């Protein structure tokens, strides 16, 4: 199991509003399956990020690529493996 950051760069703000319900529904289902660790928008409106939990880069890419935002061309996907550094004690 590893973490993968899907950085979702905004391409079309108008389409973003139209497909937002489908995007959120898709992520809620993945959260129920334990496939989403964190998610949220960038406050400057440039897009957002989803941290996926997957067994491989290929699985994470499949999860991210099936997001309605990606399918509909609303946002551009930039996927990277992400590591968590423990906080010092």
How would residue 87 be classed by pLDDT, with cut points 50, 70 and 90? low
Hey, how many other C-beta atoms are within 10 angstroms of the C-beta on 42? Answer: 13
pLDDT recorded at residue 86: 73
- Which CATH fold would you assign to the domain 2-82? Alpha-Beta Plaits (3.30.70)
| Each residue's pLDDT tens digit, 25-51 | 999 999 999 999 999 999 999 999 999
Spans of all domains in the chain: 2-82
If you search the block for the tokens 């995007």, which residue do you land on? 23
How would residue 85 be classed by pLDDT, with cut points 50, 70 and 90? confident
How would residue 69 be classed by pLDDT, with cut points 50, 70 and 90? very high
pTM for the model? 0.91
Q: What is the side-by-side strand order in the sheet with 75-82?
A: 36-41, 47-54, 2-10, 75-82
């Amino acid at each position: 199991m590893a973490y993968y950051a899907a950085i979702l760069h905004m391409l079309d703000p108008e389409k973003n509003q139209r497909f937002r319900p489908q995007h959120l529904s898709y992520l809620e289902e993945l959260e129920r399956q334990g496939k989403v660790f964190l998610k949220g928008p960038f406050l400057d409106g440039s897009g957002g990020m989803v941290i996926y939990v997957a067994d491989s880069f290929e699985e994470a890419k499949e999860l991210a690529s099936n997001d309605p935002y990606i399918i509909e061309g609303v946002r551009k996907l930039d996927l990277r493996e992400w590591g968590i550094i423990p906080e010092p004690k």
